[in-house]
Amino acid sequence: MSSFANVSVKPSVHVTYEEFGAKGDGKVDDLPAIYKTHQYANLKNLPVVANDKATYYIGSDNIEVIIKTNTNFGKANFIIDDRELNNPRFYVFKVKSKLKSKEEKGVQSLKRNQKRIKLNLENPSIVHVYNSNHKQYIRKGGNRNKGSAQRDIFLVDRKGTVDTTTPVIWDFDEVTKMTVIPMDANPLIIKGGVFTTWPSQKVSTIYHNRGIRIERSNVIVDQMKHFIKKTGKNGPPYGGFISMTKCANVTVRDTTFTGRVTYHKIGSAGYKVPMGSYAISINSAINIKFKNCSQSNSIHDRKFWGIMGTNFCKNLELDGCEFSRFDAHQGVTNATVMNSEIGYMGILAIGHGNLIVENSKVHSQNFISFRPDYGSTWRGNVSVKNCTFIPRNNRESNLFAGRNTGDHDFGYTCFLPEKVYLENIRIENKGSKENIAIFGEFNPNYGKQDKIQYPIVVSQEVHLKNITSENGKDILLSRNPSMFKKVNFSKKD
């Protein structure tokens, strides 16, 4: 598919899918033509423009279209038909850089908060580092596992100076692999497009890709829409219509996603568990922002899984978004939710640095849940200001929930936020007879155990100002007073 001998391309400032044989009738498989168009555009450094009146049918599952130039999908429709899918591992589009990554073998170890790495680079870069001989994020619960290799991702300049906003968060006694990924200086813009997936209905636990994968830094996704139709009673989990990895400085704005139906499987612990299925999936990425984005189905509908899932990221931000949840599975360093509305799954996170929620509404059982399957750990500070918390029902609710009974090694020391700042928070729980607590119980065995094998480090300071609960009951510091008795607690009306 690499020859252009039989293709007649008119001299132009851009190329079109029709010039490479696309029909755009919604029936003929246009993916081979789309592939050739971008291959030619990448070679000639030309943008690609879709036909606003076309409906491009994508039936092939053995081709990944590589995007390296600006692409305007415009008002065109794209049907991604997965009903007879054979190869779920392939993405439809991959956004890639022309710059080449390389492995760096000269660094043997790293220290937490290390300021400089011995590197001499041509471009500011992402550094992705592993220690395959040390496991972290050793998951507990229904989806328990043996953990992931220790890893970190951070930005450096040409001299190897670590960007202060992306600090090294672990001590690496050994570095088994270090990849240096140069960052593009100029933005690549992908705009428009109305994408509709007809999902596979085959019973499977294999995550299906079949979307847009971003593997390049400095990318803007603008005014895109993704819908899902022809959903069956059964089906596999999907890994995200938009997914990102090993990239930095990506903004997705004014884009509509669709939550996916939740299916179930028997988990590693031997009982039935839901399979997370995502519209957004982000792994090992830095400076990722979603601006004015939403989902087409209700953020309160429990038959749809939470819209996003992330791992190993730094500096994630939602601004002006309406999503069913914000989630950081295997850790985020610095996260911000502002001017947003979060639905029934709430804000779930573990990680490091600053967790900031401002000018937002959260409809969930708890305002923030520190994920118990990864130790309910947050090593840093949390600030919540000018927010509304709407508990999902009249049961016990907390501003911060989690669970860590101290009997499991997650591969790291676990922490509760060192300092907590809560200001101007309204709790809409008029029908409830329950007190709201800042911290849930976390460890119900605290004080009853002779020794806690893997203790969690408890918060040092909690500062409250102007917290109101509609049911008029006092705000408790914790449902486990003995665990939090040494916390410096201050409250102002």
Domain ranges of the chain: 24-97+184-298, 102-182, 365-493
Residue 204 · residue 172 · CB < 8 Å? no
CB neighbour list of residue 479: distance below 8 Å, 6 or more residues apart: 396, 398, 437, 439, 440, 441
Q: What is the mean pLDDT of residues 167-175?
A: 98
Least confident of 188-192, 431-435, 459-463: 431-435
pLDDT of residue 211: 97
Candidates 84, 75, 50; CA nearest to 65 is 50
Q: What percent of the chain has pLDDT over 70?
A: 98
Cα 34 off chain centre by: 28
pLDDT at 437 over 80: yes
pLDDT of residue 1: 47
Single pTM value for the model: 0.96
pLDDT at 64 over 90: yes
pLDDT at 217 over 50: yes
Dump pLDDT digits (tens) for 301-331. Answer: 999 999 999 999 999 999 999 999 999 999 9
Residue type, 396: E
pLDDT of residue 11: 66
pLDDT at 172 over 70: yes
pLDDT of residue 397: 94
Candidates 159, 136, 160, 131; CA nearest to 148 is 136
What is the β-pairing status of strands 239-245 and 308-319?
Answer: unpaired
Dump pLDDT digits (tens) for 71-95. Answer: 999 999 999 999 999 999 999 999 9
- Would you say how long the chain is, in residues? 493
Dump pLDDT digits (tens) for 273-286. Answer: 889 899 999 999 99
pLDDT of residue 5: 57
pLDDT at 3 over 90: no
Residue 308 β-bridge partners: 280
pLDDT at 337 over 60: yes
pLDDT at 298 over 50: yes
pLDDT of residue 2: 52
Q: What is the mean pLDDT of residues 104-130?
A: 96
Dump pLDDT digits (tens) for 366-399. Answer: 999 999 999 999 999 999 999 999 998 878 899 9
